[in-house]
Chain A
Amino acid sequence: MTQTQNARTVDLAISRLLTLGTWSATASIALGYFINMSLPRPMLGSALCWLGVVTLVMLPVASVLTMLSLYLRQRDWAFVAVSFIVLFVIFVGSLVSAITIR
């Protein structure tokens, strides 16, 4: 595969992930509110809302993970390293920030 084809594969994979993730997370939050308002099961509704929010917040990170796996498959080592660094910075930094803000 050429570099252009490889880049297109990555573009489309991320696009699908973001579309699917955004809609499923939004549906989860909306369903959570519907359950909270109409059924006597606040725990289930809140859990669905929580799941939706977490999915949305994590979607960009999931897109970087997708890039990492695709660049690994394409044996594009430079961009495997860059994807890994971005994930590492997010992971370590989140832990450090959480401790600092507390």
Chain B
Amino acid sequence: MTVTPLEMLIIMSFVASGIGGMLGMASGIFLVPMLTILAHLPIRTAIGLSLISVVCCSCASAPAYLEARLTNVRLALVLEVATTAGALAGVICSGLLAQSTLYFLFAAVMAVSAWQMMQPRTVEVRAQRQRMRFVQQLDGTYPDRQSGLNVSYEVSRLPLGMAMMFGAGILSALLGIGSGVLKIPAMDNALRLPIKVSSATSNFMIGVTASAGAIAYCVSGTIDLAQAAPICLGSVAGSLVGARALKAIHPNRLRLFFVLILLALAIEMTLLAVGQLRSAIAG
């Protein structure tokens, strides 16, 4: 039995989104290497398709978090000013960078993500200094299932958080990823949000950021809609299955396995980058 290119795209996006969903991440960090290494697509096409996949994952999983009152929509909107601006800067930069640079950058982000996945996430809550009235409007509460109480939290160091989000937006559009590599430290260490709130808010935000990048790629003609359609089907299905698996399986058991996969893919991407560089020098 042979697998058609269409079926292959559905399977790859399903697997990448499923793994992402299981780990509470977007699909991009797994999908881009799959599309370049297994489907032999050019990295720019893979990045554009991955951005569409990230949008699908965010749209499919965000309603559950919104209904559970875990997403801070106001904060997401304010941070989106920085991430969408970063995303558009990233799309413009992607046209200026050589393919080998994109491969190298992707491999580096994968290695950092693998390291980040092995670190325990902690949030240090400190007494707040006097804050602007606008920032106070971003504070929120979320229902804690374990205690059954509403937990209040305050948003701090918004300018630092926004600066990091601008960087996250650039990485997202440049590499077709949700860029948790920068969003997680921004949410945990700069804004000091509770982990559940930061995961839900980040999940909602990556949809808007990736959408800004995907629209730009679509308008510029980088993305073939015939390839985008199977990616959408696989991503929606994969993220829903992954989210269900997240509830059933303890993610820490899977973490080490996926860290090893990420490192293997990072090595493969580095080799591809070296190959591109060599052929560029030879040519």
Q: A residues engaging B (CB < 8 A)?
A: 3-4, 7-8, 10-12, 14-16, 18-19, 21-22, 25-26, 29-30, 32-33, 46, 49-50, 52-54, 56-61, 63-64, 67, 78-79, 82-83, 85-86, 89-90, 93-98, 100-102
CB of B80 within 8 A of CB of A57, answer: no
Question: CB < 8 Å: which of B52, B81, B211 contacts A82?
Answer: B81
Q: Most B CB atoms within 10 A — which of A16, A95, A98?
A: A98
Given known contacts A53-B225, A53-B232, A89-B81, A59 and B216 CB-to-CB distance under 8 angstroms: no
Q: Check: B219 CB closer than 8 A to any chain A CB.
A: yes
Q: Is the interface of B mostly helix, strand, loop or mixed?
A: helix
Question: Quick check: is B195 within 8 A (CB to CB) of the other chain?
Answer: no
Tell me if A's interface is mostly helix, strand, loop or mixed: helix
Q: Size of chain B's interface in residues, with CB distance under 8 A?
A: 51
List 4 tightest A-B contacts by C-beta distance, closest first: A93-B88, A97-B216, A101-B220, A98-B219
Mark B residues whose CB is within 8 Å of A. Answer: 52, 55-56, 58-60, 62-63, 66-67, 69, 71, 73-74, 77-78, 80-81, 84-85, 87-88, 91-92, 94-95, 134, 137, 140-141, 207-208, 210-212, 214-222, 225-226, 228-229, 232-233, 236
Beyond A15-B62, A18-B59, A86-B208, whether A61 also contacts B229 by CB under 8 A is no
Q: Do B211 and A90 touch (CB < 8 A)?
A: yes
